[in-house]
A and B are shown apart, each in its own frame.
Chain A
Amino acid sequence: MAAQDTRGNGSGPGVPARGATEERPVPYMMTSRIAQLHAGSTPVKVQAYAARAREYFGPFLRETVNPGAAERDRSGTPIPNDIFRRSAELGLLPYSLPRELGGLEANALEWGLVLEEVGYLCEDGTFPYFLSVRATVAATLYESKRPDIIDRYARPMARGERFGSFAFTDGADPFSFRTTARRAGDGAFILNGQKQFTTGGLTADCYLVYARDERTDDILVFIVERDDAGVTLGPLDVHGCRTAGLCTLGLDQVRVPAERVLAAADGLSHSQIFLNRRRVLLVAGFFGRMRAMLERCIAHLGSTIRYGRPLTEMQAVQASIGRMTASVEACRAVLHTALAWQASGASDPIWDPNITAAKYFITEQLNAFCSDLFRLAGGFGYTAESGFGRFQRDVAALFAGAGAQGTLEVDLGVMAIQRLTGGSP
């Protein structure tokens, strides 16, 4: 795809072309001071940053991602890889990735704000979630610090030429994984088992697979390629996030060579680092969608006349909108604080209470917010046209994703008791 300036003002450099060299023009956000938000950034700076993210990525989302979003949801068709390729060309997919990979090296706050605005503008609410999973897989591979892995996987992923998926959930607790790894000589392993929920798996070409070492019972991490003999993919007919390409990943005597062992010990911690960093990014796009849904709801109510007045003039409706707005603002505060905390580098990389609480809180707020949408919007809310139903179905994915809500409650409780009492008496 040729480089083009999608900003519309023609006053700055265009967007990078896929596979371009150092001479390529870089997205203007990369060179602008606005790309330097940090934990102490003011709300005014944050708003300005978000506005420029909307300006920059808006045309791509409206013209490329939004068309066909409803039909993809109806049919359960994954967002096409070509959309991700184009998002890479635009600098969106590699936005948070290191400059060495051609990324913009945005910190968690900057990346989370971009995902929020993508969610705000994107009729396919699954897109920011799916996008951030793919970026996190690329970042995780880069962090292996192994040149062979970086060149073979992370670099092409940042360019939108390859796509990775995270295959962890196994249908058993992590100390009882049924997916096994048997040593096969020369450092190779034979994998057997089935991963139950693999986001983006249907259209990925490689997978981070967590399997239990038959010899040590430790969890190891492998890179499995789609074309490896014995790999099978099973599409899942799911309630929400139907365009995320969720699938099962079957492994039948899959031989993985030594060079594709990503973590030779403590893959459990490896998985928790992946999930911990994902939690607050996961909800960012959904929060952006929440803002859009509130605006859509108010617009509908303002144009609906009952007893000679717009519904927005009725006090009961105003009170409901007030309650929903309070929820939006509370989520905004929690989300931005958690993103800034993650960006500060001071958060716990394995399990952080602030980030965990943010994911938990925003998910609960989103769920209640969806109910309010239906209460207010009446029959309109029940139509596909409103998008409220899809939003509610997509939000349901958060109850299980990146840590089930019930599990997070227990973890938060245990850690709080320890912190506040010094442990059990």
Chain B
Amino acid sequence: MKFRFSGTLLRFVDYRKEIAVEDAATVGSALQSLVSQYPSLRGALFDADSKVRSTHRIVLNGEVLGREHTDRALFEHDRLEILTAIAGG
């Protein structure tokens, strides 16, 4: 499967817009594999309780997943996007 990145989180993945992850059975394991490759992404993506921050939308093949759906199974040609809308005050 592949991750596609845009916007706020790009700097945590060396501005790579597409990152392939092999052998990830679920969305959660793909995210863990991703942050293993890019450790600085961990703090941006996960909170101190290791949950995906609510500010990120995980989108699987165009479907927005809830934070609790990281157990969704992945297949070879799946595409995961992480969309982030953050504003200041």
Partner-B contacts on A (CB < 8 A): 166, 168-169, 173-175, 197, 213, 216-218, 220, 264-266, 268-269, 271-275, 278, 350-351, 356, 400-404, 407-408, 410-411, 414-415, 418, 421-424
**Interface residue SS majority, chain B:** loop
Are A407 and B88 in touch, CB under 8 angstroms?
A: yes
Are A423 and B53 in touch, CB under 8 angstroms?
A: no
Q: Could you give 15 example pairs across A and B, Cβ below 8 Å?
A: A175-B12, A218-B48, A266-B53, A269-B53, A275-B87, A400-B88, A401-B89, A403-B87, A411-B87, A414-B7, A418-B64, A418-B81, A422-B62, A423-B61, A424-B4
Contacts of B87 in A (CB 8 A): 272, 275, 351, 402-404, 407-408, 411
A220 to B48, CA, bound (A): 9
Query: Is B65 among interface residues, defined by CB-CB distance under 8 A?
Result: no
List the B residue with the shortest CB-CB distance to A212.
B43
Contacts of B85 in A (CB 8 A): 272, 350-351, 356, 411, 414-415
Are B62 and A418 in touch, CB under 8 angstroms?
A: yes
Contacts of A356 in B (CB 8 A): 85
Given A414-B7, A422-B62, A424-B6: A269 touches B55 (CB 8 Å cut-off): yes
Query: Is B20 among interface residues, defined by CB-CB distance under 8 A?
Result: no
Query: Is B37 among interface residues, defined by CB-CB distance under 8 A?
Result: no
Q: From residue 51 to 68 of chain B, which have CB atoms closer than 8 A to chain A?
A: 51, 53-55, 57, 59, 61-62, 64
List the B residue with the shortest CB-CB distance to A353.
B85
Chain A proximity of B63: nearest CB distance (Å) = 8
Are B7 and A410 in touch, CB under 8 angstroms?
A: yes
A422 to B54, CA, bound (A): 20
Given A166-B89, A168-B89, A268-B86: A423 touches B54 (CB 8 Å cut-off): no
List the A residue with the shortest CB-CB distance to B4.
A424
Are B48 and A266 in touch, CB under 8 angstroms?
A: yes
A97 to B88, CA, bound (A): 24
Contacts of A401 in B (CB 8 A): 89
A415 to B64, CA, bound (A): 11
Are A423 and B47 in touch, CB under 8 angstroms?
A: no
Binary flags per residue of B16-59, CB closer than 8 Å to A gives 1, else 0: 00000000000000000000000000011001110101110101
Are A264 and B89 in touch, CB under 8 angstroms?
A: no
A36 to B47, CA, bound (A): 38
Partner of B47, one of A175, A265, A400: A265
Contacts of A418 in B (CB 8 A): 57, 59, 62, 64, 81, 83
Partner of B54, one of A197, A269, A402, A424: A269
